[in-house]
Amino acid sequence: MSKKFPPPEEIFWIYEVKINPGKTEEFVSVARDLMATMEDEPGTVEYRYSLNADRSICHIYERYRDSDGLIAHADNFGRAFSERFAEACSPSRFSVYGAPDDRVRSILHQYGATFFSNIIGPTGS
């Protein structure tokens, strides 16, 4: 079976957050609400939220078709979810992959993102 590289404009991230004490149910609620909006964000490809065994840490995997899709999500998140999200968790690590444009880099840099570039494939050698 042949494996294919994702399109070069695709962006994904893994965002690790610590669930604030006593806020697990609130975090799960906002995560569910965020996932429900995915259908309304045509540039969003996938969301996955994974909790550790004691439900104190969550890894958030999100994937976008391109920078425009990610910006549409960021606008929606900021308007509808950012306050609830910030009350329920604290960021600990934010790794972004792919080839985001300068607009996306500027937005995500505010959240402490570290950017990783492909070394093999469409955007690497």
| 8 Å CB contact between 69 and 41 | yes
Residue 124's pLDDT is: 55
Q: Which ranges of 2-121 would DSSP assign to H, the alpha helix?
A: 24-36, 67-80, 82-88, 102-109
1-28: pLDDT as tens digits: 556 777 778 999 999 999 999 999 999 9
The model's pTM is 0.87
**Domain limits of the chain?**
11-116
Tell me the pLDDT band of 119, cut-offs 50, 70 and 90.
Answer: confident
43-70: pLDDT as tens digits: 999 999 999 999 999 999 999 999 999 9
Can you give the C-alpha Rg of the chain in angstroms? 15
Residue 114's pLDDT is: 97
28: exposed, middle or buried (Cβ count in 10 Å: 0-12, 13-18, 19+): middle
With a pLDDT cut of 90, the percent of the chain lying above it is 71
Residue 33's pLDDT is: 93
Considering the domain delimited by 11-116, tell me its CATH architecture. Answer: 2-Layer Sandwich (3.30)
According to DSSP, the residues that pair with 64 across neighbouring strands are: 11, 44
